[in-house]
Structure 1
Amino acid sequence: MVDAPGFDGVNPSREAATPLRFAGLVLDLDACMLARESGEAVPLTRGEFAVLRMFVSRPGRVISRDALLDAFANRRFEPFDRSVDVLIGKLRRKIESDPKQPRLIVTVPGEGYRFDALRFRPPQIVELADSDTTAKPNGPSPPRLSMVVLPFANIGGDPEQEYFVDGVTESLTTDLSRISGAFVIARNTAFAYKGKAGDVTQIGRELNVRYVLEGSVQRAGGRMRVNVQLIEAETGAHLWAERFDKPVADLFDMQDEIVSHLANRLGQELVRAEAGRAERVANPDSMDHYFLGLAHCHKGPTAEHLDQARSHFDRALELDPNNVGALVWRALADLWWVSSWLSEDQQERFRSAEADLRKALKLRPDDANAHNALGYLRILSNRAVQGISECERALSIDRNLANAHAMIGMGKYLAGRTEETEAHVVEALRISPRDNFAWVWMYIAGRAKVYAGCDEEAVVWLNRSIQLNPNTPVFHFMLAAALAHLGRIEDAREAARAGLELDPSFSSARLRRSMTFSDNPVFLAGRERAYEGMRLAGVPEG
């Protein structure tokens, strides 16, 4: 769970704050209470208190509607949404002497609202915020996965390109908001910084975010160059950078490709950054363990990494049984044990994964990763058609979920529709070409090609997969099968030897016992063809 800035985010270790007094009112931030000086309590809703907390921490400053909406709701709104105005109206009726002529919460037309209580008791208010707008070290710490996408710079100032530049910024803001647990500053707030040279560390303090994404777009002749960099707001350190240099074709198609690519890469880079932070924490909490587990998963499905990942997810769920991310990824760790032939207790792994995923979806019905993981579970447990449908549902929630395309491709060959697999893998790679799991997707395409008898194409896909991750034995054995069917026996035997060096106890009989993912006759025929190729390459049979 990600706390909204300015609410429940105050560092619990700091000393208790002195109650604030203004306009005949007493505000106790630690106790979350507002009262009149007579002692009469002024009841506030969670949203009203969150907004008041933000106001008193930024006295005399104009705060936009979007920033206030982010503070009390932590969700996106339509451009003309007026929920915050309704909230401000209710708050005014509780704290203003004349709500129709407010003196404490003043409307600034076209900009937002300003808290003018400084004119009443300035010393107490100044304790919460410096006059130069920089945040106090003891203020609310930025939420995890919190970021702002600053308006991209239009290098060269071509006015005809401006809509494309702004479109990339807006679309990226929207797509990053779909990352589970992410808090992304709303577009209108971010665009207040357009055209201004700002210090990212100060922007981070002003918006209370951990990360700042900035970029630029430059057009030269028939080519478009886009530069992007992710910065840690607290230190100003550059965490990641990417450059796109592409011929200009359809600008909307190009925008979609750039945004989907960036959204996937940023999701992975943010996990890496959060895991690095978690390693430095003295007493990691549930989310710290979640990110540490996720980082181990991203290293690949080996027994060592999956053991470490699962232990972190177990700990995360001990600390917070409703941590949806940990539930989903613990389920995926179990499924990878099965799909990587690391476990003999398939049914127990399936039962554990399904229990975790059902709980996750009960807590968060529209979690795209949970639907995708449930699809993967059904694909692996001989329910490919149902699994494909679940993955398609995940894509309807998050169009950038590249792994869902690859899982659909896997489901297709298990359902006997082997010729359709490659297109889904290609789409996954188009959306996220440098994905942490691209090597798995390439293996899926290569294996489907072996089953279909397209061995030349299988060799290309499998070699690409092995280049990215040479440490998975079955990849080498599948390559050996394809090479053997092509008559390249020496190359096939070399591939088999590489696999056996990684797993000396491997045999095609063991693989046959564990590969019970489908009883489709087309799939079974393809699987037998793969086994025959392995036999020709010298892979042990028993």
Structure 2
Amino acid sequence: MSDPAAVIRRLVAVFSADVEGYSRLMGADEVGTLKGLTERRAILDRLIGEYRGRIANTAGDSVLAEFGSAVEAVQCAVDAQTALAEANAGLATDRRINFRIGVHIGDVMVRAGDLFGDGVNIAARLQSIANPGAVCISEATYDQVRKVLPMTFADLGVQQVKNIQEPVRVYQVGAPSESREAAPARVAEIESPPPLPDKPSIAVLPFQNMSGDPQQEYFADGVVEDITTALSRFKSLFVIARNSSFSYKGKSPDIRQVGRDLGVRYVLEGSVRRAGSRLRITGQLIDTSTGAHLWADRFDGALEDVFELQDKVTEKVVTALAPRLEQAEIDRSKHKAAGNLSAYDCYLRSLPHLQYPSKQSLEEAMPLLRHAVELDPEFAAAYGLIAQCYAHRRGWGHVPDADEKAEVAHLARIVLRTGEDDAAALGSTSWAVAYILRDLSHAQSLVDRALAMNPNLAHAWRTSGWINLWSGNPAVAVEHLTRAMRHDPLHGCHDSSMRNGMAHALFFLDKYDEAMAWAESVLRENPNGHATLRIFAASAGVAKMTGTACEMGARLRAIDPEFRVSRLASYLGPYQKPEFVEKYAQGLRLAGLPE
């Protein structure tokens, strides 16, 4: 008969899970929390069993398990977070039961079925580092799984964890691949995989160009752009922005991982074949939680019927996702973006130049857009992008003259006439009206109309964030910029305009550490960002971090030797509160910048 007090040692993958804010949840609703916890424990217990794990220690709101395989432990953890997010869907934020999970490979002691030792302690500390709904693993675990599992990993750097003598390098599972370089723990939250929304959610992945002609790549991309836009008009759907979806272009990703990365339940993928005057579009809708194909279909027609074919694909997707949607809403999705295909071609060719705009890319995009409106004078979306190009030029230091301001005002009037029901056109124009014309009230009304028509439009949420910042509402700015990044989770978290907006808004909310964290995330990719260095220097200055402030100030002077605090207003947007500009200026003075 075995001795129950006997201790044995073995090397295992330790899985540690714990409920975030358990005491708060119990204090708010003891009965409901216990019921919800029981349901979620059933999910965890089932998945741990399916991946051949063994539950060892439990303590109400926490679970400790061992696995013979690091791969199975991490896969179990990721699948558990996906299933738990689904269980939370539809609940109010303060009623959700979120788990943190940590996984570590280590030597443990086993006594009477329970686990003890440093291996257990490290897994528990990794769990405490993880954000709610996320999974953190140790470097030892990462080495075992990184080449096996089709996941991405964000390096959160070396962490000193409580009661463990040696520091531990920590990785977060499922973060965007672009974030693999070391990132401070304070910005880990913006790189966490997003939870599933509480309504049907979808991403349209880049369609494969089957034409055999690389020059037709833009046409396949344009079909996806229009299907995404059409789906976005349905307020009952949560649609991921084109920029994030196109992060998978040229790749063959695991659809379940796409669902986890983007926080969506469904993915639409397909192909486009353009041969002469004929066009074929194929599409298939996939449930990311199971990998099951919900439907697949093929649509053939003449090239001039491209919009009708796109509408058919869109209608099929909507019917599969939300069968109770009114037919009237399906009809509304059948809006033709342009009546002239040649104009449409020009519009499509301009889009890649505007995804990461530069002085050179604007010089290539604007002639295409101008030719589009020459061919189709009613093309509202093209007018909106022309106006946006003027705003981009100002962002790089070009001060518009009277003629250019008059041109932007003229473009805004055309968009209001031709695109009163075109959310993308209104959203693009609102940015130029705010930044070039400095008319915040008009700009806000334009972007509000855009978001009322299309609440999934990421760039409109971003614009609304900046407009609210300039209007003196930094808390609303944070909320709207957060919405923008949620609708564009892969590109948005690497969009310098969104992140700079967050840094500025948090600075005016006196959250200097958070402001610097956002600025730091931009500088890792663009060390010479003028606006980023300014807000970093000002935040550090007001926070009395003199060394950091002076370092940022020196970097700013290195790229712009003529910079003076007295010229700050010429660099900024149309701030409506003089006290905001003065606070900004004072921070720069504290950073050692000359008056």
The TM-score with structure 2 as length reference comes to: 0.44
**Higher strand residue share:** 2
Between Structure 1 and Structure 2, whose CA radius of gyration is higher? Answer: 1
